[in-house]
């Protein structure tokens, strides 16, 4: 079992409800050595994205790159989100209830641009929320 390298900094961000440039830099440094994140670490990043409103401008790029790589390129099948991964993301991020945050929308757009195969349940969830918001 892999250790969650970012649990401490993620907890601190959640308590403060603020992610500073220093926090994002530290997260980047902590996740860089392995070049990937574990599922628990990805869950921490999703939790920060969903529940912290004061995010430094560098957060968006870090979040999209890190979570995007984890789900699309570091798990099998490569270049494809499975139904199970999409369900995990929908549930964890509350996409079915609240719709995508700005960074989740950027993540989806990036996956589309990269040619990542996305399951219908994820696309339907996001499209339904966009239509309901309009």
Cα separation, 130 vs 44, in Å, equals: 25
Cα separation, 60 vs 1, in Å, equals: 28
Cα separation, 82 vs 25, in Å, equals: 30
User: Looking at the predicted structure, is the pLDDT value of residue 133 above 70?
Assistant: no
- The whole-number pLDDT of residue 89 equals 95
User: Looking at the predicted structure, is the pLDDT value of residue 18 above 80?
Assistant: yes
Strand pairing category for 54-55 and 18-19:
parallel
Question: Is this model's pTM higher than 0.85 or not?
Answer: yes
Q: 82-121: per-residue pLDDT in tens?
A: 999 999 999 999 988 888 889 998 999 999 999 999 999 9
Cα separation, 54 vs 45, in Å, equals: 14
Q: 57-89: per-residue pLDDT in tens?
A: 999 999 999 999 999 998 889 999 999 999 999
Neighbouring residues of 15: CB distance < 8 A, sequence distance ≥ 6: none
């Amino acid at each position: 079992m892999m250790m969650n390298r970012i649990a401490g900094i993620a907890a601190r961000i959640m308590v403060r409800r603020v992610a500073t440039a220093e926090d994002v830099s530290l997260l980047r440094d902590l996740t860089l050595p392995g070049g990937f994140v574990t599922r628990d670490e990805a869950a921490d990043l999703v939790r920060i994205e969903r529940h912290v409103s004061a995010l430094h401008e560098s957060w968006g790029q870090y979040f999209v790159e890190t979570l995007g790589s984890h789900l699309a390129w570091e798990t099998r099948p490569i270049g494809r989100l499975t139904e199970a991964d999409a369900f995990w993301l929908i549930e964890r991020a509350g996409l079915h209830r609240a719709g995508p945050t700005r960074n989740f929308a950027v993540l989806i757009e990036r996956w589309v641009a990269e040619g990542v195969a996305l399951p219908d349940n994820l696309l339907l969830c996001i499209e339904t929320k966009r239509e309901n918001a309009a």
